[in-house]
Amino acid sequence: MNYGFIKIAAAVPKTKISNCEYNSDIIIKLIIEAENKKCQIIVFPELSVTSYTSADLFHQDLLIESGLKYLNIILEKTKRLKIVSILGLPIRFKNSLYNCGVIICRGKILGIVPKTHIPCYKEFYEDRWFNEGKHVKGEYIDVFGEKIPFGVDLLFRDKNNLNLCFSVEICEDLWMPIPPSSVHAINGALITFNLSASNEIIGKYEYRRNLVKQQSARCLSSYVYTSSGVYESTTDIVFSGHALICENGSIISESKRYDRDDQIVIGEIDIERLINERNKMTTFSGLENEEFRYTEFDINRIDFKELNRFIDPHPFVPNDDFMRNKRCEEIFNIQTAGLAKRVEHTKINKAVIGISGGLDSTLALLVTIRVFDLLNISRENIIAITMPGFGTTDITYTNAVSLIKEIGATLKIIDIKKACSIHFEDIEHNTEIHDVTYENVQARERTQLLMDIANKVNGMVIGTGDLSELALGWCTYNGDHMSMYSVNTSIPKTLVLYLVKWVASNVFDNKTSEILLSVINTPISPELLPPMENGEIRQKTEETIGPYELHDFFLYYFLRFGSKPKKIVFLAKNAFGERYDLREIRKWLKVFLKRFFSQQFKRSCLPDGPKVGSVSLSPRGDWRMPSDVEGDLWIKELEEDEL
């Protein structure tokens, strides 16, 4: 199983200037090393066989002939290897010299791509030696008695998987307003390999790094970049040996710069993920195409048991403290802006919100407070209602009441036990039977109170449910499922916690922060079942439906990238390591899939609420699915993985 991944290497070899014998030996060594590490494609820097800084020696026939001689030796020495290699070499064609990428596999040349744009400014004067390749299309060149495709119109694809397609561009090509790789991507290239010789000056490293990241994001592709190292000539400039493997705007792997040893940077690229992104972005294929020739290769097949790339167990929550705080600030501002617009539009200056003492309702209250402060509406116009029921514990009740009082909202306490008991009598339900009816009666009673009080005071009911609950259908239909504006609707549970923590640290004073930290440390529960004899919460959500960190991980890969269940299991195992074994991961993924497919009817009639991230379940925006869809296809694939 490759789970849609391909293993890529970017090499930075030690070179000697114009010493093709030495350079080819190093290249062969690194190709063999990459093959032994089960890499499937490896790319070398610009003009790596001759070295980039040979200067006017490129006018010497002996150097050009030596480059070809040792290319032939590289082919011979690697003919039993299955890896695809991309080398840099000067190639003479029709009495002109071109700076080329030569693509080889199993002792054969697949094609030769000349550099499209030749720089001639500041420290660069390549047009002294090389011709631009931008007009070279549809050509063939004789190399070692073989007719080889030659031109900038070449794309390379796996004959057993035509979706696996890559292109080659060289150094300056990336720095142009419209890089060739942009056109390559439109025509099917999922990976671009850039053979480069980019020297170092102050600030260039950061710019180049961002350029590679941005191009991979713009093209919804992987971009693999490698540049000449410190052994190039230092007559006027210095090279650092910078190699990068990027995927859709993220750096998967990166070399050390100024290293004096050979380097191989390895990264696994998720081809399926890139294809899914392009399938969703229909404008991607709506651009004018050019004619390309496709050269096919037979890529080495490998099984992926584990990944070297980092798989974040919490994809909705940035690891870095600074980035996480920035993300929380941005989300809180989006929530605030969304609710503020709705309040202004309706001209309603009162909000009604149910406060349970849990994370979701706390976050919704904090957003509402910020909106009312922003619009210069008294906090007393926020009717914050806590409604203790059969499962309410002292800790959540105390948190709810303390928070409402501390922030200055209007507190109402309405005990729902009496009303629910009467309702149980009306529907002839035994109160000793703690089933879904017992639970949902309480949830709907609370929602009825909120709606009716909102009518009474001409207010708006603020929804508190989050994205994770909607994905799992962990809400009562026409109970906590319903509101007049739902501020948490696209925020996953793992992120709600950090948002509340961010607000505690950055928005409110110490007393309020203490209460918020108490809320954070309270187990997640709907509190619809009676507490334990010692007063502690009996009904802990994650013991019933599974850990939210797993469900949020499943949701991210299932919805964001359309990943198959087998792949989600593989990724989860790599992300969480020993925290969950395969049995647990499969168990909770089955729960996720069954609930996700069976609970669409709740998502089909969601109230309005702001989208804050790339994953949303709004039936008007990101997710449209029939409520009566069959999910057997996904369940069966997961069950096959268990065998």
CA dihedral for 14, 18, 22, 26, sign (positive or negative): positive
Active site residue 46: yes
∠ CA 264-266-268, nearest 5°, is 165
Burial state string for 108-118 with b = 16 or more CB within 10 A and e = fewer than 16: ebbbbbbbbbb
**What distance in Å separates the CA atoms of residue 507 and residue 418, rounded to the nearest whole number?**
38
Please identify which of the residues 20, 77, 100, 115 carries the catalytic annotation. 115
CA distances from 432 to 424, 446, 479, 530 (A): 11, 20, 22, 11
3-state secondary structure 377-443: CCHHHEEEEECCCCCCCHHHHHHHHHHHHHHCCEEEECCCHHHHHHHHHHCCCCCCCCCHHHHHHHH
Look at residue 500 and give its three-state secondary structure.
helix
Closest listed residue to residue 591, CA positions, set 556, 638, 559: 638
Look at residue 112 and give its three-state secondary structure.
strand
Please identify which of the residues 20, 39, 165, 171 carries the catalytic annotation. 171
Look at residue 360 and give its three-state secondary structure.
helix
**What distance in Å separates the CA atoms of residue 87 and residue 102, rounded to the nearest whole number?**
5
Please identify which of the residues 46, 126, 132, 277 carries the catalytic annotation. 46
| Rg of the chain in Å (alpha carbons) | 30
Query: Pairing mode, if any, of strands 351-354 and 161-170?
Result: unpaired
Q: Do residues 191 and 273 make contact, with C-beta atoms less than 8 angstroms apart? A: no
Active site residue 115: yes
Torsion of CA 323, 329, 334, 337, to 10 degrees: -160
Instruction: Determine the angle formed by the axes of helices 548-555 and 493-506, rounding to 10 degrees.
Output: 110
CA distances from 190 to 277, 351, 536 (A): 11, 50, 54
| Active site amino acids | 46, 115, 171
